[in-house]
């Protein structure tokens, strides 16, 4: 069980796939080098350039289910027909050391974090400027097949309805100005 008085802070980024959260998180890690990103487990296949243990722990479905049974995850969810989960041990160890953490979760994961951590979880929803822009970004990234892009766009419509349910909401329209707003929020949460 995590001690809620631990000094480490929890930042959660929630955004429909393709909004730009990986790009934004990557910049944040440069500006806040002490902010450690949690590496989730997923049953989806790696995209080109993704490295096991860095981007995700790529895990077979059977093993993932065994890990659920074993209580490995603080939360897990089925997203776009794959499973994703956050390791409990990773969080406990990091928070005990006073380490601040950043998570990239879907809305289900963000809701679980709010239930588990309460106000200790600082959840930032990042919205795309429009569904048209989101589709352009997903297609421009060129990492997913058409069927997968359609599934992600459908899911995005539902996720966007949740945009005002969290602690902060911002739109990733022009990258640099959106990043500046995000950096200000994260700086405030971390107290730096």
Evaluate the CA torsion angle 64, 66, 81, 171 in order and state its sign.
negative
Q: Residue 85 or 128: which CB sits closer to ligand 5GP?
A: 85
- Residue 106 binding partner per list ligand ADP, ligand 5GP, none, with a CB distance cut-off of 5 to 8 Å that depends on partner kind: ligand 5GP
Candidates 19, 42, 43, 112; binder of ligand ADP (CB under 6 A) is: 19
- Among 60, 50, 41, residue whose Cα is nearest residue 22: 50
44 binds ligand 5GP (CB under 6 A): yes
23 binds ligand ADP (CB under 6 A): yes
d(CA 105, CA 63): 21
Query: Residues 126, 19: contact at Cβ < 8 Å?
Result: yes
Query: Residues 81, 151: contact at Cβ < 8 Å?
Result: yes
Instruction: For the segment 110-149, give every residue that binds ligand ADP (CB under 6 A).
Output: 137, 140-141
Residue 120 token pair: 């200790």
Q: Shortest Cβ distance from residue 115 to ligand ADP (Å)?
A: 24
Q: Shortest Cβ distance from residue 56 to ligand ADP (Å)?
A: 12
Q: Residue 33 or 140: which CB sits closer to ligand ADP?
A: 140
């Amino acid at each position: 069980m995590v001690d809620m008085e631990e000094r480490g802070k929890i930042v959660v980024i929630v955004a429909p796939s393709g909004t730009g959260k990986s790009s934004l998180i990557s910049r944040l890690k440069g500006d806040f080098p002490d902010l450690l990103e949690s590496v989730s487990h997923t049953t989806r296949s790696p995209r080109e350039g993704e490295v096991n243990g860095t981007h995700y722990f790529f895990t077979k479905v059977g093993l993932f289910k065994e890990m659920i049974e074993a209580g490995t995850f603080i939360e897990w969810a089925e997203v776009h027909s794959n499973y994703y989960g956050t390791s409990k041990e990773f969080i406990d160890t990091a928070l005990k050391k006073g380490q601040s953490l950043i998570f990239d979760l879907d809305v289900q994961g963000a809701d679980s974090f709010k239930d588990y951590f309460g106000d200790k979880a600082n959840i930032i929803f990042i919205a795309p400027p429009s569904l048209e822009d989101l589709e352009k970004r997903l297609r421009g990234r060129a990492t997913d097949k058409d069927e997968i892009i359609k599934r992600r766009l459908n899911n995005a419509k539902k996720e966007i309805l949740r945009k005002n349910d969290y602690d902060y909401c911002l739109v990733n329209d022009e990258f640099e100005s959106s990043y500046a707003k995000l950096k200000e929020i994260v700086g405030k949460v971390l107290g730096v």
